[in-house]
């Protein structure tokens, strides 16, 4: 009799252990396996662009389709995904960075037509937004370089004159072609391993010339114009 009671107790203990194990496994299964989004936020004005850039080469080399959810940013690596929230209506859209811009002071991101439509900013053209990084590509240290853009010109000769005038005081400068219609020649000064370091030069250039903002150097981009006529490179 005692033996049967002991066996029953053992069976009950084993059953309880098994149920406990199942419950534990269930709790583990509910834990998200996807890492939390990177906590990086930027707030400012967004604009959007369509024609005449639709169907032309973006800065990362792919063809820009204004009906896809993409965007241009000055410093985020190509392939970064960001969530853009229109602060006037709380609508959001997720976009992939494939291009460089906007090259207008005070603006932080340039959305495709489709992305702008998703957050109801087609009519106003610009909107106050919050940009949150949700995914970043893996980059080698040598891919993280920054410069300061001082101007952009349709006329390459004007761009070259500005580049040459800046170089003696502010260091090596280069021209980068922004393809489109019309194409634009961007004047970039310096080469720095961090945005903060580039920001120091940007402030000097803003004081001296009234213009200057930090941009990422994309040396793998097909839009790099190569050495200037003086042979200067950053």
Note the pLDDT of residue 219: 64
Q: Where are the beta strands (DSSP E) in 15-103?
A: 41-49, 70-72, 81-86, 92-99
Assess whether the previous peptide bond of 52 is cis (omega < 30° from 0): yes
User: Whole-model pTM?
Assistant: 0.73
Q: Which residue has the higher pLDDT, 33 or 114?
A: 114
Long-range contacts of 119-122 (CB under 8 A, 24+ apart): 119/84, 119/85, 119/86, 119/89, 119/91, 119/92, 119/93, 120/86, 120/89, 120/91, 121/46, 121/48, 121/86, 122/48
| Model confidence pLDDT, tens digit, residues 89-117 | 999 999 999 999 998 888 999 999 999 99
Q: Which residue has the higher pLDDT, 29 or 71?
A: 71
Structure letter (DSSP) for residue 64: P
Mean pLDDT of the chain, nearest integer: 81
Rounded CA-CA distance 187/161 in Å is 10
DSSP per position, 198-216: HHHHHHHHHHHHS--EEEE
Question: What percent of the chain lies above the pLDDT cut of 70?
Answer: 76
| Model confidence pLDDT, tens digit, residues 142-189 | 788 999 999 999 999 999 999 999 999 999 999 998 876 678 899 999
List, in order, residues 6 or more apart from 83 with CB less than 8 Å away.
92, 93, 94, 131, 132, 134
Return the residue matching tokens 């005038």. Answer: 165
Rounded CA-CA distance 193/188 in Å is 15
Mean of pLDDT values over 117-144: 92
Helix H or strand E segment including 184: strand 184-192
Query: Which domains occur in the chain, in start order?
Result: 41-135 (2.40.40.10), 141-216 (3.30.70.1070)
């Amino acid at each position: 009799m005692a033996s049967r009671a002991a066996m029953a107790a053992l069976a009950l203990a084993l059953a309880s252990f098994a149920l406990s194990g199942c419950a534990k496994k269930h709790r583990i299964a509910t834990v998200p396996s996807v890492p939390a989004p990177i906590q990086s936020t930027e707030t400012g004005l967004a604009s959007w662009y369509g024609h005449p850039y639709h169907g032309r080469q973006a800065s990362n080399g792919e063809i820009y389709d204004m009906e896809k959810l993409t965007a241009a940013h000055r410093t985020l690596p190509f392939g970064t995904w960001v969530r853009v929230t229109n602060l006037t209506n709380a609508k959001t859209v997720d976009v992939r960075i494939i291009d460089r811009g906007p090259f207008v002071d005070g603006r932080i991101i340039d959305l495709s037509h489709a992305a702008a439509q998703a957050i109801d900013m087609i009519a106003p053209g610009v909107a106050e937004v919050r940009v949150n990084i949700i995914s970043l590509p893996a980059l080698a240290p040598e891919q993280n370089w920054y410069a300061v853009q001082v101007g952009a010109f349709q006329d390459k000769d004007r761009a070259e004159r500005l580049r040459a005038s800046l170089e003696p005081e502010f260091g090596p400068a280069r021209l980068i072609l922004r393809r489109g219609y019309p194409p634009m020649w961007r004047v970039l000064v310096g080469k720095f391993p961090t945005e903060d370091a580039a920001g120091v030069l940007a402030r000097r250039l803003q004081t001296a010339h009234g213009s200057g903002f930090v941009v990422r150097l994309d040396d793998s981009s097909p839009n790099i114009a190569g050495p200037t006529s003086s042979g200067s490179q950053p």
